[in-house]
Homo-oligomer: A and B are copies of this chain.
Amino acid sequence: MTIETVSTSRAHGGVQGVYAHDSVATGTRMTFSVFVPAHDEVEALPVLWYLSGLTCTHANVTDKGEFRGPCAEHRVIFIAPDTSPRGEGVADDDAYDMGQGAGFYVDATRAPWAAHFQMRRYIEQELPALIAEHFPAADMGKQAITGHSMGGHGALTIGLRNPERFRSVSAFAPIVAPSQVPWGEKALGGYLGPDRAAWRQADAVALIEDGARIPDLLVDQGDADSFLAEQLRPELLAAACAQAGIPLTLRMQPGYDHSYHFISTFMADHVAWAAERLRR
C-alpha cells in the first residue's frame, strides 16, 4: 500500500505530517496525521492513537490538541485518523451526527452506509498495517488509544475489544453507552440496523457487561459540557467498571465544556498516562 505525504513540518523537535491513501476498507481516499518525536535512529517508539469526535477530521486535534509537547517529552508517536469516509458518492446525512464526519468506528451493515462506512476495519486493521509499513520508528507492539466524544466511544470500544494490543486506554468526554443515548441510538440503528444485540460490540458499557476487561482506564469529563447529561453519561461507565472490577479514574473537571479547550488542557495527562503504561 502506498501513501501520499500531504505535508510535513518540524514541530517540538519532531515531525508533524499529514498523509493520504486509498483505503481498501472504506473504498475512499482517507487522510490522517502522524507526529513522530525526535528519536535515536535505532529507537522504536510507542504509538498513541487519538480518535476524534463528531464533525471532526484529523485536522482538529492536529491543530488544537496540544499533544506534540507531551509526546516529544515522552517520545510517543501520535496518530490522528479521520472520523469517516468522505467525498462524492459516499452516503451522507444532513445532520452532523450521522454520515460523513460521524462514522462511529463501526462497520456498517445496512444500506446505504455499508458500501463505505467500514471504520472499525479501517482503524483496527488497515491503518495499523499502513503505519507499520511506512513508519519504521513505530513499535506496533506498544500501542495505546484515546479519543474524544464519539472518538472516546471509539477508543473505549476498540480498547476493550483488543486488550492484547492496547496497553493503555483513556478518553475525553466519551460516549460510554451509545445504545442508551440519542446520538448512539441513531447512529447504531442506522449503521447496524434495529437488532440491538448487534450493537453490544459497539458499546463500551455493554462490552464490559459482556465480559471485556482492561487493566485500568482514565476518563476526563467537563462538568459544564452541554452533552453530559443526555449523550455522555459517564455514570453508566462508572457503574459498569465498578461491577466488573475495572479500576476507572473518572475525573469530573469543574467548569470545562466539550471543546478542544477542555481536551488540550488535559492532553498532557493522557499522554503521560499512556506513556507510563507503554514503557512498563
Contact = CB atoms under 8 A, between A and B. Distances in A.
A257 B7 CA distance: 12
A256 interface: yes
A224 interface: yes
Interface string A217-252: 000001010000000000000000000000000000
A16 B261 contact: yes
A10 B224 contact: yes
A9 interface: yes
Q: Which of A66, A224, A262 has the most CB of B within 10 A?
A: A66
B69 A255 contact: no
A268 B11 CA distance: 13
A265 B12 contact: yes
Q: Which of A222, A255, A259, A261 has the most CB of B within 10 A?
A: A261
Interface string A245-280: 000000000011101111011001000000000000
Contacts of A12: 261, 264-265
A68 interface: yes
**Copies of the chain in the assembly:** 2
B66 A10 contact: no
Contacts of A63: 63-64, 260
A13 interface: yes
B68 A255 contact: no
Interface string A48-67: 00000000000000011010
Contacts of A69: 66, 69, 268
Contact of A256 (B10, B222, B264, B268): B10
Given A64-B63, A64-B64, A69-B66, A261 B9 contact: yes
A71 to B, nearest CB: 12
Nearest to A257: B9
28 contacts: A9-B257, A9-B259, A9-B261, A9-B262, A10-B222, A10-B224, A10-B255, A10-B256, A10-B257, A10-B261, A10-B262, A10-B265, A11-B262, A11-B264, A11-B265, A12-B261, A12-B264, A12-B265, A13-B265, A16-B261, A63-B260, A64-B64, A66-B69, A66-B264, A68-B261, A68-B264, A68-B265, A69-B69
